Amino acid sequence: MRKIVFDIETRNVFADVGKNDPSLLDIALVAIHDSETAEYSTYLEEDLPKLWPILERSDMLIGFNSEHFDIPLLNKYYPGDLSKLKSLDILKEIKQTYGRRMKLDQLAQGTLGKNKSGHGLDAIQWWKNGEVDKIRDYCIDDVRITKELYDYARANSKLIFKEGSELLEIKLDCSKWEEPIEHKLTFSLPF
């Protein structure tokens, strides 16, 4: 199964566009991990046509808050509909099981014993300063954390989060996460 773990950093925030609608934001950079190559790569807005065949040939997209944020934003640029691909939003799984949302950093601290390397607002400032390499490093780090959380959950049927000084477990049923579905995607490029 070819899995693509992905994350997006933007050039702006909801306050800039006047509405809590991800499709109104502008992409600065997309980072992915491709299970087929075991490599991390990044794509600026002008590079997105190189990303489409990778996503189209994947069996599954994996993200954190991806159903609400990343996929709708990426669909703004994609000539088809990425919501037709099988995807797993780790945050959605947590909310369905645990009843509330939480930050990626809480899960990284609790499950992996490490912190995120920055914040999305840092990435916006780096974009304004032309510091694209900092955005790349930060976004790849978030993808790495998301991938490690996914792998941990699959192996242990749980994630751990830090709340204050306490570590709490979230039991997850991961048994169907990798069940294949039939692609319903109209490809953007001839194959």
Parallel/antiparallel/unpaired status of strands 27-34 and 3-10 = antiparallel
What's the DSSP call for residue 2? -
Q: Tell me if residue 5 falls in helix, strand or coil.
A: strand
pLDDT of 185 reads 53
Domain boundaries, the chain: 3-171
pLDDT of 190 reads 47
pLDDT of 183 reads 58
Which fold is adopted by the domain 3-171? Nucleotidyltransferase; domain 5 (3.30.420)
pLDDT of 191 reads 43
How confident is the prediction along the chain (191 residues), in pLDDT tens digits per residue? Answer: 999 999 999 999 888 888 888 888 999 999 999 999 999 999 999 999 999 999 999 999 999 999 999 999 999 999 999 989 999 999 999 999 998 999 999 999 999 999 888 777 888 999 999 999 999 999 999 999 999 999 999 999 999 998 888 899 999 999 999 987 765 555 555 44
d(CA 149, CA 117): 16
